Structure 1
Amino acid sequence: MAEAHQAVAFQFTITPEGIDLQLSYQALNLIYRSGVRSWKKRVSRMRNRVIKGVFPASPSSWLFVAIGILATMYMQSDPSMGLISKIQQHLPLSKRHTMLSALVFSTLLWLSLILALRFCLKLLLSYHQWMFEQHGRISNTTKIWVTLVRLFSSQKPLLYSYQTSLPHLPVPAIKDTLSRYLESVRPLLEDTQYKRMTDLANQFESNLGNRLQRYLKLKALWATNYVSDWWEEYIYLRSRGPIMVNSNYYGMDFLYVTPTPVQAARAGNTVTALLLYRRKVNREELKPSRVPGTDIPLCAAQCERMFNTTRTPGVETGNTHTHTHTHTHTAAYTYNVLQHWQDSEFVAVYHRGRYFKLWVYRAGRLLSPREIEHQMQKILDDPSPPLPGEEKLGALTSGDRYQVIPWAQTRKQYFSSGVNKRSLDAIERSAFFVTLDTEDQGMEGDDPVGNLDRYAKSLLHGKCYDRWFDKSFSIVIYKNGKSGLNAEHSWADAPTVAHLWEYTLATDAFQLGYTEDGHCRGEVDRSLPHPQRLVWDIPSEVQTQVSSSLAVAQTLADDVDCHVFPFREFGKGRIKKCRISPDAFIQISLQLAYFRDRGGFCLTYEASMTRLFREGRTETVRSCSNESCAFIRALEDGEVRMQLLRRASEKHQNLYRMAMTGAGIDRHLFCLYVVSKYLGVESAFLKEVLSEPWRLSTSQTPVQQMELFDLKNHPDFVSLGGGFGPVADDGYGVSYIIVGEDMINFHVSSKITSHFICVNIKSRVCECFLWVLKF
């Protein structure tokens, strides 16, 4: 193998004259430079640990404290009130110097001040009343709070500097959660149904609820976040169905432009941009994400497992008591774990049924975009056919997780040793996965509407075997240069991946760029080893399992309907002029569209973040409210009243703020349910609540780095955002992204067999949107 030759630094032979030692200076130089890179990373990590450890102070502040203490002592004053003398008494005889004891006291005082500052910062970040104050009517308390937060933020923070200062997610009072739940389902239930649900809630609160709540509060005192670990494990990692479509989501390229039509060149720049982002994450050079328009930091914990991470299946015997949808049989079932490696110097590449290991570093140096393009072109030009069973091997990650021989058992039996283990390790330990697709995608062509829909379906599931759905994310580079992304959901939520993808698109198009003929810039080292072709020995039993998984995945993929459409009539600028929140306006419009399409209201899910808290992830905004339903009924009856719309908008904003500040409904009830399963007790109320279907599941993908895109000079470089599959078999999945002031992009998905037609939602949404033009 090519890289094996590079590993030989010296050779020797024994001759009659002695040992003939032949050194390869090139190989030794590569070893030296690789070692230098490794040590630089270690030093950088140590430096960052020190800076984070003393935040919100700085390491240099120790010097000011020490100088201050020594200066007061020089003036014949004892600022320590006798502590310096006591410290001096406990020093060894040879070290009993006043200055040394003063420095020890200065260090202890400095550390105490850091702890005090960190405690103050945590108290400041625990204040959330600012979110509920009206624009232009800010209280004096909030004004003082803003000043203090800015003062604490004056020190330039690293990516993870705020982590230990973020507050813990609070456990809401059970009475408040039940009250908010009953209010959320009131417009969906008849009077008799609502009375029955109220009785169930009251019975739960008076009997089992308080007992479960005590256990949950105990966990909140002990754990960093009382929700996130259970949410990751039981909602994502213990899922038994296919993660393709059901869990993974996608991100799209620019809507109107493709920076280059050369597939290998687009792959070169995209891979380089992703690795530059990884370097920023490793060095913590990224600015901490903040609430838009404020200095309030958001939790950055999800960035830790962005690269070099994969979801690996495991096998557990026995039944489980902790699933939302429990299976009563006791056969072996699979669960998953997230594996993360500290670093990886290669990526895994798939093309025409073959897998390759592509080294992106050489002697500690990141390859140039032109060199990565050169390597990608070698893969594209490789004429070798797939090995038996290799072409569709990726289907093992796209099918069911609880078949007769699940992926976990297949992996353990056939991929735990030999060439199969080495090849599987190359995929799972890679920085990320790259698919060089053989198709053209994008909006261009005679059928732009249909092309966008096919583009979305391709990113969501592809051919069901040409993505590695277990990887943290897979990059797809199409034959015509279009790109996209498919992300696994358990390790992070969409905003974290969207931040990565925004940086990648902007760096690719505006920083790295291309030559006039569409190739990457830079020089090529012709001595680079060829990409390593992965070798497999796939027995017939595994090929049978691959076929079985592929059949399940293909049935699922064929049943998914996707529709993508940009709305250009107006955007958030026009909506704000009506004194209405753009997000609330879109949510109410989606409910109106659903009402006109299906003839009624439904439980509506909108994802909200809880990253104001440490290790926070998401909370549900139940956006179908009494106020929104009142407006829709009035509108359908011919009463066009802006007052009802504004009231519904204000209600939605309040629900969103409550979800963000830890006063949501669904994560609390979910955790109570998990506790009940651990205790082995049943709750008719919790069982019914957690089995309710979300027939309208929605999510906004915010643009977080508008400074990267110059839409005035480059208006065509707008991202289409991304989307996901339907959550309910008889429902819609809707993702939307607000771009600039005059554009909103929508991604709608549904199951074809449910007769929920995505195009219907498009026409209904456009009707609802255009209604605002009357005012």
Structure 2
Amino acid sequence: MYMCNQLPLPVNSNPGMVFPPRRFTTILDVSRFTARLIDGALNHKAILDKKELPLEKATSREPGQPLCMTQYYRLLGSCRLPGKQKDSQHTAANESGSEHIVVICRSQLYCVPVQAADRGRLSEDEICAQLLHILDDAPCLASPPPIGLLTAIKRSSWAEAKDALCRDDQNRRNFELIAKSLLVVCLDEALPTSFNCRLQRGGKGHTAGGRDETNLVLQMIHGGGTAYNSCNRWFDKTIQLIVSGDGACGLCYEHSSAEGVAVIQLVEKLYKDAASGNQISEVPQASSHLPPPERMEWILELDDHKRIESAAQAVDNLIKDLDFQVFRYVGYGKTFMKSCNVSPDVYIQLALQLAYYKLYGKLTATYESASTRRFKLGRVDCIRSGSPEALAWAAAMAQPKEDEKKVTFHLVSNEVKLKLWEEAVRAQTKEMIDNILGQGIDIHLLGLREASKDTSPTAAHPLPEIFTDPSYRLANKFLLSTSQVATSDDSFMGYGPVEPEGYGASYNPKPDQVIFCLSAFWSSESTSSSRFAQSLEESLNAMQTLLARKA
């Protein structure tokens, strides 16, 4: 699903997550907060090293079943590696000895040891002092060739570029340091308030330096382009913590190692611990025996520079094409949804179906991730929300109001709409439960398809017809890619569409509102995140009106 996908990681694959913004007044504030994030990651790594992470168990739908914890153990120290046909993964979870992180500031990459066999683990003060050194050093240097941009291009092109760079021993060592690092920290500059300036629909959430939430999440997803922070990234790295001088902070994560639930649990814990500490105004004293961070130097040939220039143009074009907005629906939230005796996830999925139907007069293949962690090494299956029952209900709901009808025909009554609603809810609920209990269809078919490929299909023994049939390809063309990304605080996560003519729609239900991150591509003549947000708002309002009658 991931390793064979040749598309660039930013926008197409890596999600971005926004934390509640901080208030920084000095670079010491930035360094101290970032040091606490890193210190928290080291505390978590110590728990992982001892295999003491508590076993999670299902809380609903056959509660008590143990959940596979493998994803949690490969978040720190992992990195995706480019390949010409297929990518691979480096996992450093079982490596011992010296441990380090990589910090990127103004496109300069620094290796910062955080634990060594001969002296133990760095303290928070020592980490803070290292970060202060970087924040002081990087602005004094000429801008380096932004090697990190190469991680944002087509995977096979990145693999070729990396092979060329690895002909030099120093470059090869740099790549090894990055791959084996526990995580990457990106010390960013703020995006201007004018970046992606547009009218934001719905309620207003957190801001940083006057920037709205759409502006903030775009910084986390792609950095804002080569003029801003996209050169300050290493998109292959599983965990990239991002801290900006104006208080914006968050995460960009490479998706192949783990699903959002595992990542969110980790970074929310890191943020909570870092944010709860007391403000310390004293500048930490660097230990006399502690060398400054190692700044990575790169040996580049003319062709390497040309590849970086080409990458810069490709990255900027990709970013300009992303049509993205955060939409806070404030009419109601999961409290009302639960009062209707409906799972908030089921409720919102049907709202997304109605919103799509109102725009296009039809439904489409819809992807919603369903955790399969009840099974060993389980990741996700696909909850297909575009059911016949959802279609019948959406068609009834989308009929014009009586005073809007242009011709005489029989309007569906509210009683019939409610009946169709209940049928759609039952179908969606069953689909959801079937998937999390391992009774979905997609990963089973995927396993059979990959097993068939392993038999080296020939003219005499081709792939089974089901995998070459147009209906199979159509069923896997997800023009609506959705996911519930629930958080315990007011953070949220967003991502791009998975198809050129499609939408991405993450949602985060709160008691009195729902945070949506909606995405499309400007190059598509048929999609618009603004129109989808408007249709979604109208759909949620209409559903409340209908269900209030039932109450």
Provide the C-alpha distance between the structure 2 equivalents of 1:651 and 1:657, rounded to a whole number of angstroms: 10
Letter of the 1:635 partner, please give it: M
Provide the C-alpha distance between the structure 2 equivalents of 1:244 and 1:746, rounded to a whole number of angstroms: 19
Provide the C-alpha distance between the structure 2 equivalents of 1:603 and 1:349, rounded to a whole number of angstroms: 41
Aligned equivalent of 2:531? 760
Which of 91, 107, 130 matches 1:353? 107
Aligned equivalent of 1:506? 272
Describe the SS at the equivalent of 1:691: helix
Contact 1:565 1:762 (8 Å CA) reproduced:
yes
Letter of the 1:642 partner, please give it: L
Describe the SS at the equivalent of 1:407: helix
Aligned equivalent of 1:685? 466
Report the TM-score when normalising by structure 2: 0.85
1:734 aligns with 2:501: no
Provide the C-alpha distance between the structure 2 equivalents of 1:244 and 1:413, rounded to a whole number of angstroms: 23
Describe the SS at the equivalent of 2:145: coil
Q: 1:420, CA displacement in angstroms?
A: 1.4
Question: 1:42-121, aligned counterparts within 5 Å?
Answer: none
Question: 1:533-682, aligned counterparts within 5 Å?
Answer: 533-637=295-399, 639-640=413-414, 641-679=417-455, 680=457, 681-682=462-463
Deviations 1:34-56 (A, max 9, x none): xxxxxxxxxxxxxxxxxxxxxxx
Aligned equivalent of 1:98? none
1:276 aligns with 2:43: yes
Describe the SS at the equivalent of 2:2: helix
Aligned equivalent of 1:76? none
Provide the C-alpha distance between the structure 1 equivalents of 2:496 and 2:502, rounded to a whole number of angstroms: 10
1:698 aligns with 2:482: yes
Larger Rg, first or second structure (1 or 2):
1
Describe the SS at the equivalent of 1:735: strand
Deviations 1:277-309 (A, max 9, x none): 222222223222222354322111112221111
Contact 1:250 1:459 (8 Å CA) reproduced:
yes
Contact 1:620 1:666 (8 Å CA) reproduced:
yes
Distance change in 2, residues 1:387/1:524 (3 Å): closer
Provide the C-alpha distance between the structure 2 equivalents of 1:447 and 1:625, rounded to a whole number of angstroms: 42
Q: 1:586, CA displacement in angstroms?
A: 0.2
Which of 184, 197, 214 matches 1:453? 214
Provide the C-alpha distance between the structure 2 equivalents of 1:701 and 1:721, rounded to a whole number of angstroms: 7
Aligned equivalent of 1:80? none
Q: 1:745, CA displacement in angstroms?
A: 1.3
Describe the SS at the equivalent of 1:335: coil
Over the matched positions of the two proteins, sequence identity in percent amounts to: 27
Letter of the 1:508 partner, please give it: A
Deviations 1:373-420 (A, max 9, x none): 2211111111566678x4311111110123xxx322332332244221
Aligned equivalent of 1:192? none
1:400 aligns with 2:154: yes
Deviations 1:340-375 (A, max 9, x none): 222452111111121111122364433233332221
Describe the SS at the equivalent of 1:726: coil
Provide the C-alpha distance between the structure 1 equivalents of 2:189 and 2:209, rounded to a whole number of angstroms: 20
Q: 1:260, CA displacement in angstroms?
A: 4.4
Structure with more helix by fraction: 1
1:365 aligns with 2:120: yes
Aligned equivalent of 1:439? 190
Provide the C-alpha distance between the structure 1 equivalents of 2:280 and 2:179, rounded to a whole number of angstroms: 37
Letter of the 2:219 partner, please give it: S
1:305 aligns with 2:82: no
1:336 aligns with 2:103: no
Describe the SS at the equivalent of 1:644: helix
Q: 1:488, CA displacement in angstroms?
A: 0.9
Aligned equivalent of 1:484? 250
Contact 1:301 1:615 (8 Å CA) reproduced:
yes
Contact 2:326 2:517 (8 Å CA) reproduced:
yes
Describe the SS at the equivalent of 1:754: coil
Contact 2:4 2:86 (8 Å CA) reproduced:
yes
Stretches of structure 1 that go unaligned for 5 or more consecutive residues are 1-234, 315-332, 707-717
Which of 466, 477, 484 matches 2:232? 466
Describe the SS at the equivalent of 2:523: helix
Letter of the 2:451 partner, please give it: V
Aligned equivalent of 2:136? 381
Contact 1:349 1:356 (8 Å CA) reproduced:
yes
Q: 1:669, CA displacement in angstroms?
A: 1.9
Contact 2:367 2:382 (8 Å CA) reproduced:
yes
Aligned equivalent of 2:31? 264
**Count of residues in Structure 1 that have an aligned counterpart in Structure 2:** 497
Distance change in 2, residues 1:516/1:545 (3 Å): closer
Q: 1:684, CA displacement in angstroms?
A: 4.3
Provide the C-alpha distance between the structure 1 equivalents of 2:332 and 2:316, rounded to a whole number of angstroms: 38
Deviations 1:3-59 (A, max 9, x none): xxxxxxxxxxxxxxxxxxxxxxxxxxxxxxxxxxxxxxxxxxxxxxxxxxxxxxxxx
Contact 1:610 1:661 (8 Å CA) reproduced:
yes
Contact 1:371 1:524 (8 Å CA) reproduced:
yes
Provide the C-alpha distance between the structure 2 equivalents of 1:660 and 1:647, rounded to a whole number of angstroms: 20
Relative contact order (alpha carbons < 8 A, sep ≥ 6): 1 or 2 greater?
2
Question: 1:13-32, aligned counterparts within 5 Å?
Answer: none
Question: 1:150-229, aligned counterparts within 5 Å?
Answer: none
Q: 1:423, CA displacement in angstroms?
A: 2.0
Describe the SS at the equivalent of 2:207: coil
Distance change in 2, residues 1:364/1:768 (3 Å): farther
Provide the C-alpha distance between the structure 1 equivalents of 2:328 and 2:139, rounded to a whole number of angstroms: 41
Distance change in 2, residues 1:446/1:247 (3 Å): closer
Contact 1:349 1:433 (8 Å CA) reproduced:
yes
Provide the C-alpha distance between the structure 1 equivalents of 2:210 and 2:337, rounded to a whole number of angstroms: 31
Stretches of structure 2 that go unaligned for 5 or more consecutive residues are 193-204, 402-412
Deviations 1:619-642 (A, max 9, x none): 001111111111111112353332
The Cα RMSD (Å) is 2.4
1:515 aligns with 2:279: yes
Describe the SS at the equivalent of 1:359: strand
Provide the C-alpha distance between the structure 2 equivalents of 1:384 and 1:269, rounded to a whole number of angstroms: 23
Report the TM-score when normalising by structure 1: 0.61
Q: 1:754, CA displacement in angstroms?
A: 0.7
Q: 1:644, CA displacement in angstroms?
A: 2.0
Contact 2:33 2:275 (8 Å CA) reproduced:
no
Contact 1:260 1:266 (8 Å CA) reproduced:
no
Aligned equivalent of 1:425? 176
Provide the C-alpha distance between the structure 1 equivalents of 2:424 and 2:356, rounded to a whole number of angstroms: 16
Contact 1:730 1:750 (8 Å CA) reproduced:
yes
Letter of the 2:127 partner, please give it: I
Distance change in 2, residues 1:526/1:647 (3 Å): farther
Q: 1:643, CA displacement in angstroms?
A: 2.7
